[in-house]
Amino acid sequence: MRQQRGSVILIVLWTSIVLTALVTVMAARVQLSARTAIHNQEEVYHAAAVAEAMHFAEMELMLEQMRPPLDEVPLTDDLGNVRLPAYRFNGKPLSLHYPAGEDMVVRIYDHAGKINLNRLEDRRMLLLLQHWLGPEADPRQADELLAAWRDWRDVDGFASPNGADSDYYEALEVPYTPRNFLELETVEDLRLIRGFDELLKGVNLEAAFTVYGTTETVNLNLATREAMRLLPGLNEPLIDEILTYRETRDFNSRNDVGAIVPLENFVELSNWIGNLTSSYFSVYAYPRASTARLQDSAPSDEPLATLQAPQESVQESYMEILQIRNLGYRPAVHQVNPHALLPETTAPSSLRE
């Protein structure tokens, strides 16, 4: 009798354990399914909001090609000079004519603010390399990089002295064929050229360079910080001064630039800059980081006013490279990157203080 009671108790205990385990597993699955549904819902909303913002950004670029309304009051600086509306496409968060959602940020970068790799002559590439390497570098390093750059873009498939071509690249552990064509297809091609990946380690190439358009110079009204770091004659303090200046005024002439850049630096910089705009734009759209999330991540005794600006906490964004052709057609899409690294958007140090 005792054995039967003991057996019954064991069966009941095991049954309870099994049922408890089943209920736990089922509850976990239900919770996982609920979380998955919520995340899917958030992703669908996010994708729709980004798509809407991109459409409004396209409209903004097309409106720029139209004549302004007769009753529109032009924006002027403190000296009464009219500011060019096209210069607002320099990466600042935009207030669009057709506003995107309140939680969305749109930034547009005119490619006239980047260094055009496909319009870069060998002589100018050498100057850029020497500037980036610094005065203490071995001059032979710049010469070898230039030789590899030439070989990548020529059509013969044979290496020049100190260069690298088919034999070098096809002998690598992961072999590939050099482009052997005058124009690069993407800016990332630059990393495939011998020595350039190490040279430009940590550089956001999409922010510094372009392969689109025919512009040979860089417009300082539109230039990215990454592009200006590569330009001979510029350094971080001067870049900060340029970014600070263009917050309130336009660079309308070389004299405006010369008022900021010392003569010795300006001599180096002069041939790199111009006032052209382009028809190619990198458009970024992403959800604004909420102040609530920033507050939650900060120490409890830190006031919200001291927290990092919301847009600066976002590092990746959906991005498209668009070409504006004419008003009869939507912009042509040349490149799409759902996880593009945002160009550096920190304010000049003089503005942060």
- Diameter over CA atoms, the chain: 108
| Average pLDDT value for the chain | 85
Q: Which range, of 209-218, 233-242, 306-315, averages the lowest pLDDT?
A: 306-315
Please state, in angstroms and as integers, the Cα–Cα distance from residue 164 to each residue in 46, 118, 180, following that order.
45, 19, 11
Q: pLDDT tens digits for 163-207?
A: 999 999 999 999 999 999 999 999 999 999 999 999 999 999 999
Q: Which range, of 20-29, 78-87, 122-131, averages the lowest pLDDT?
A: 20-29
What's the average model confidence in pLDDT over 125-152? 95
* Residue in the block written with tokens 């850029």: 128
Distance (Å, whole) CA 196 – CA 141: 11
Burial of residue 124, with CB atoms counted within 10 A of its CB: 0-12 exposed, 13-18 middle, 19 or more buried: middle
Give the count of beta carbons closer than 10 Å to the beta carbon of residue 270. Answer: 15
Q: pLDDT tens digits for 233-292?
A: 999 999 999 999 999 999 999 999 999 999 999 999 999 999 999 999 999 999 987 444
Distance (Å, whole) CA 15 – CA 18: 5
Q: Which of 303, 304, 248, 273 is nearest to 113 (CA)?
A: 273
- Up-side HSE of residue 306: CA atoms within 13 Å toward CB? 7
In DSSP terms, 228 is beta-bridged to none
Whole-model pTM over 0.85: no
Q: Contact at 8 Å (CB) between 231 and 208?
A: no
Determine the straight-line distance between the first and last CA of the chain, rounded to whole angstroms: 86
With 70 as the cut, is the pLDDT of residue 52 above it?
yes
What's the average model confidence in pLDDT over 149-173? 92
What's the average model confidence in pLDDT over 316-327? 91
Distance (Å, whole) CA 263 – CA 111: 27
Q: Which range, of 15-29, 202-216, 267-281, averages the lowest pLDDT?
A: 15-29
3-class DSSP state of 253: coil
Q: pLDDT tens digits for 93-102?
A: 999 988 888 8
- Confidence band for 344, pLDDT divided at 50, 70 and 90: confident
**pLDDT above 70 covers what percent of the chain?**
82
3-class DSSP state of 269: helix
3-class DSSP state of 322: strand
DSSP state of 278: -
Distance (Å, whole) CA 234 – CA 272: 11
pLDDT of residue 346: 66
Question: H or E segment at 107?
Answer: strand 104-110
- Up-side HSE of residue 304: CA atoms within 13 Å toward CB? 8
Rounded to 5°, the CA angle 184-186-187 comes to 95
Distance (Å, whole) CA 273 – CA 258: 12
What's the average model confidence in pLDDT over 329-334? 92
With 80 as the cut, is the pLDDT of residue 4 above it?
no
pLDDT of residue 94: 93
Distance (Å, whole) CA 90 – CA 243: 10
- Confidence band for 305, pLDDT divided at 50, 70 and 90: very low
pLDDT of residue 77: 85
